[in-house]
Amino acid sequence: MSLKPENIIEKFIFASRWFQAPMYAGLVVAGVLYAYKFLVELIHLVININTITEEFLLMGVLTLVDIVMVANLLNMVIIGGYATFVSKLNIDKHEDRPDWLDKINAGTLKVKLAGALVGISAVHLLKTFINISQKDAELVKWQIIIHLVFLLSTLFLAITEWVLHLEHKTEHKKIKEA
């Protein structure tokens, strides 16, 4: 094994990916906090079901959906990010292994995350529309603009990934034929 400065620097740089591991562990803690918040909201709805209006129930259910979508986003970031940027997950034979892990890379992870943000934004926008009479028109306008920006960004990311995938597939095909 060579102890050239270049090799030492490269090994140090490669090992630096482990600095992200505590960040992913912190996101797991955030997921636990979201699970707690979900249970608190669910218990609140169950206890008050006989006294709340249908609109309040709908808002509560949308809050639960929102929490689940954020938790899904966290899960994608934790599992996909760790597997993509830190270390391979040794779960090949695990019965609950997510299928999407086989197809994940930094680009597809970005598209999935952006799609999740669009979904979360849509739930927030729906909550705003349900209570539109209580909302400031300027706030509603900005929420719509932000949602459209998320939507367009996701669309452009997806198109970019699709084009890059096509280019990679074409290059791979040319190499195979040669």
Asked if 177 and 165 count as a contact pair (C-beta separation under 8 A), the reply is no
d(CA 129, CA 123) in angstroms, rounded, equals 10
Evaluate if residue 1 carries a pLDDT over 60: no
Evaluate if residue 59 carries a pLDDT over 70: yes
For residue 49, the number of C-alpha atoms closer than 13 Å in the C-beta half-sphere is 6
Mean per-residue pLDDT for 121-143? 83
Of 8-12, 41-45, 57-61, 99-103, the least confident: 99-103
Mutual angle of helices 137-177 and 106-130, in 10-degree steps: 160
Give the whole-number percent of the chain exceeding pLDDT 70: 94
Domain map (residue ranges) of the chain:
7-90, 105-178
Mean per-residue pLDDT for 16-31? 95
| pTM of model > 0.85 | no
Average pLDDT, the chain: 87
Tens-digit pLDDT profile for residues 74-101: 998 898 888 888 988 888 888 888 777 7
Asked if 154 and 118 count as a contact pair (C-beta separation under 8 A), the reply is yes
Mutual angle of helices 54-75 and 21-47, in 10-degree steps: 160
d(CA 155, CA 166) in angstroms, rounded, equals 16
- Main-chain dihedrals φ then ψ at residue 150, nearest 5 degrees: -60, -45
